[in-house]
Amino acid sequence: MSAQGIDIVRVVYPDLIGADRARDLLVDQLPAACGHGLAFCRAVYHTSPQGDVVPIAGGLEAGLPDITVRPDLATLAPLPWEPGVAWCLGDAHDPTTGGPAPESPRDLLRRVLAHTADLGLHPVVGPELEYYLCRPDPSTPGGWSPYAPEPGNVYSAGRRGDPDGHLVSALRQLRTLGIGATAGNHEFSAGQFEINLTHSAALDAADRAFLFKAAVKEIARTEGRLATFMAKPFNAEGGSGFHLHLSLVDGAGHNVFADDSAPDGLSGTARHAIAGILAHAPALAALHNPTVNSYKRFGPDSLAPWLIDWGPDNRSAMLRIPPERGDGTRLELRLGDAGANPYLAIASAVAALALGIRGKLDPPAPLDGYGYRTDLAPKLPGTLDAALDALTADTELTGLLGAGFTEPFLAYKRNEIARFQQYVTDWEFREYARLL
C-alpha cells in the first residue's frame, strides 16, 4: 500500500441506522488493528443523528462498554476523492464473548444468509438508490435547497439538469472505487439522482450499497454540497426510493425463480417468496421505511408503494416482477426509501422470502392495472409507530432476525418517535402562531 502512496487506512462500519462510523489509522498500525481490533463505545449503535445517546440495554446502563472492530482487508480500496487514504469495512465484535456485536447490521445479514443457505438457496441482490444533491441556501429553514432546481429534467443526463457535471464526476470516482456502479441519471425531481449498482451475492450487495451511500456523501462534500438519502427532504418534491432486485440461486448457480412452463414464467419457489414478502410487509416497513420522515413519501400517485400488492411489470405495485425471465427472473421490492440501512433492508427482505418458501405460502392474485386502490389491497402502516407495532407483532420475522438486534432497534426507534412528538416544527409555528 505504501507503494501506492497510501499512508492512512479508514476502517468504516455501519451503525444501527446505516450511518458510517470510522477511525483513521496510520498504515503501519494496520497489522495491530487486524490482530486486536479497534475499541469503540458500544453506544455508537444507540447514538441519535444529533449525537444524543439513547438509553438502551447494553449501553448507558451498562457503563458504556466497548465493542471491538477489526478491519476486513478484502474490502480495502483507495479513495479517489482523498489522495493517500484507503478505506475498508470493519466487523464489530463483543469483546466479552468474542462473537459479533449484537447490534451489528452486517452480522444480522450474515445470520439470515446462514438460514437461506440451510435451505440450499443463495440470494442475489441488485440495489437501486436515489438521492438529492443540495446546495447551501440560508433562506430556507434547513439551510439547503435542491441543486439545479429547474423542473422537467426527468430521466435525463447532461448539463441541462446537472450544470456542474456532478453525475459524471461521481460515476468516474465510483468506478475507481470499485463498488459496481454502472450508470446514472437525473431522477424525477429537481436535484435528484439515481446511480445503478450491479447485482451480486447479498452480503456483497449490502456492503456496496452502504459504501455507495458513504461515498456519494463524501463526493458531495468535496463539491461544497450535501447529498442526502433521507426519504423526503423537501415538501415540494418527491421522495427517494431504495428498490431491491431479489433473486435466488441454488448451489449450482441456477436461478430458482425461473420456470418457463409455469404461469408468468415464475416457479413455485418464486410464488412462495412473493407470498412471504407480502405476508411480512407491515413488519418490513419498519426496516425499509425506518424514520418519522419515511411516511411522508407515501400517498396516492406518488409512485411510492403504500399498499401491499404485487404485479408483473407494474410500477404501481409494492412488489414488481420485471419482465426478464430465465437467469434474469427476479422480484423488485419497491417498499424501501433511500434512508434505510442497506444491511437491515436486505436482511429483512431475505428473511421474509425465506419464511414464505419455508411455509409454502401462496400469494393473492396479482394487481391488474394501476394500483393505489384500497379496495384491491391492504394498506401498509402509515406511520413509523404503526410499523414498529407491526414488527413487534410479527414474531415469526423477529424470531429469525433475533432479539439481540430487534430489541435495541425497537427501543431506539421508539425513542426517535418520542423525541419527534416533543419537538415544535416550523409547520406548527406557521399554522398556529399568528391566529391563536
- Which of 300, 286, 104 lies closest to 206 in space, CA to CA? 104
Distance CA 49, CA 18 (A): 11
Where are any strands of DSSP class E within 229-343? 242-249, 310-312, 319-321, 331-333
Pairwise CA distance, residues 182 & 327, whole Å: 19
Q: Look-up: residue for cell 445479514?
A: 109
Instruction: Flag whether pLDDT at 3 surpasses 60.
Output: no
Please, which pLDDT band fits residue 369 given cuts at 50, 70 and 90? confident
Cell (9 digits) for 333: 421490492
Confidence category of residue 374, pLDDT binned at 50, 70, 90: confident
**Average pLDDT over the chain, rounded to an integer:** 93
Task: Say which DSSP state 135 is in.
Answer: E
d(CA 40, CA 87): 17
190-to-131, 160, 238, 354 alpha-carbon distances in Å: 11, 11, 9, 38
Q: What is the DSSP string of 22-82?
A: EEEEEGGGHHHHHHH-EEEEGGGGGB-TTSPBP--TTSGGGT--EEEEEEEEEEEEE-TTS
- The yes-or-no verdict on residue 361 having pLDDT over 70 is yes
CB 331 within 8 A of CB 274: yes
CA distance 104 to 21: 12
Indicate the pLDDT class of residue 142, thresholds 50, 70 and 90.
confident
pTM of the model: 0.96
CATH number belonging to domain 2-103: 3.10.20.70
Residue 410: count of CB within 10 angstroms of its CB:
18
CATH H-level, domain 111-401: superfamily: Glutamine synthetase/guanido kinase, catalytic domain (3.30.590.10)
Across 108-234, the runs of DSSP E, i.e. the strands, are 122-136, 144-146, 181-186, 192-197, 200-201, 226-228
Please name the helix (run of DSSP H) or strand (run of DSSP E) that holds residue 14, with its range, or none. strand 8-14
- Model confidence at 313, pLDDT cuts 50, 70, 90, reads confident
Provide the terminal-to-terminal Cα distance of the chain, rounded to the nearest Å: 65
Q: Give residue limits of the domains in the chain.
A: 2-103, 111-401
